[in-house]
Amino acid sequence: MDKYVVDAGPLIHLDQIGQLRLLEKLPSLFIPTSVFMEIRHDTNSADLKTIRKWPHAKIVAVGKPGLKSLNPFIKRFSLQRGETDCIHLAFDLRPCTFLTDDLAARIAAEKLSIEVHGTVGIIAYAFRQRWLSLNQAEEALNRLYCQSSLFITYAIIENAILRLRETG
Amino acid sequence: MQETMTTQLEELARLRHEGPSEIIAEAVKIGLSKLYVESVLGQYLKKRISRNKAIRLAGLDAVKLAEQQKRIVEKDLAWGLGRG
């Protein structure tokens, strides 16, 4: 079964564009407690607070002694607690996919050979799975640029939309 | 959105001890500058201007970030659309 570890970024950005349900559809989703606490404290979103009720989501405490061996490596990237816990968890759950929009966390995870993708990838994946129509996926990408707090250049969004159209 | 902007304007006026018109003038200046950088990066990513010109107009940090984003999103699309 596909396993996913999700950081605060995709949860917040998908919530901001009204597409949090895309993460709910993933077969096995792991959220470190630190990430869950972060989003609970930092957002007013009622939807984000329902994550505990998702059937395939598990909120897990991270801090196994064996994983501490990764700490010296991860420290080099100056990551926050949530990102650090996500990488520990994804490393422990390998093979699994780590979902983040944090550039430093992405680089650190890739160096550990962890598969990493961001919110744009999740929208493209949802389109391929037919959870979103072409119009809905295009709208989600446009909203990601206009309505979410994710910083992304519009030309990149435009290119992503073109790629969806070619596929669809 | 309208309500958010009004609230933000009021909050900014309180925090900065400035009037709404001064804050709006500053916001337009910052917004225009961001739109300009965004437009330059768009031209560069579509290969309509050279990297050197993009760096001159938008700055090295912005160009490097846009290049990194492009690489990342390409990888995400390949995975998401099933070609990765």
How high is the ipTM of this complex?
Answer: 0.89
Judge: B68–A103 Cβ closer than 8 Å, yes or no. Answer: yes
Judge: A121–B66 Cβ closer than 8 Å, yes or no. Answer: no
pLDDT confidence bin for A1, thresholds 50/70/90? low
Structural domains in chain A?
4-119 (3.40.50.1010), 133-167 (no CATH)
pLDDT confidence bin for B22, thresholds 50/70/90? very high
* Residue A4 CB partners (closer than 8 Å, separation 6+): A26, A28, A29, A30, A96, A97, A98, A99
Judge: B73–A160 Cβ closer than 8 Å, yes or no. Answer: yes
pTM, full prediction = 0.88
pLDDT at position B84: 54
Residues of B in contact with A121 (CB under 8 A): 73, 75-77, 79-80
CB-based burial label for B11 (10 Å; 0-12, 13-18, 19+): exposed
Percent of chain A at pLDDT > 70 equals: 96
pLDDT at position A93: 92
pLDDT of residue A30 exceeding 90, the answer is: yes
Judge: B81–A128 Cβ closer than 8 Å, yes or no. Answer: yes
Average pLDDT over chain A, rounded to an integer: 90
pLDDT at position A64: 58
Structure-token pair, residue A132: 């979103």
pLDDT confidence bin for B3, thresholds 50/70/90? low
Judge: A124–B79 Cβ closer than 8 Å, yes or no. Answer: yes
Q: Indicate the residue of B38, B75, B76 with minimum beta-carbon distance to A153.
A: B38
pLDDT (tens digit, 9 = 90+) per residue, B47-62?
A: 999 999 999 999 999 9
Torsion of CA A122, A127, A132, A133, to 10 degrees: 150
Phi, psi of A58 (to 5 degrees): -125, 130
Torsion of CA A155, A156, A159, A165, to 10 degrees: -120
SS3 A150: coil
Please give the residue of chain A at the shortest CA–CA distance from B38.
A153
Q: Which amino acid is at B39?
A: S
pLDDT (tens digit, 9 = 90+) per residue, A43-85?
A: 778 888 888 889 999 999 987 555 567 777 777 888 888 999 9
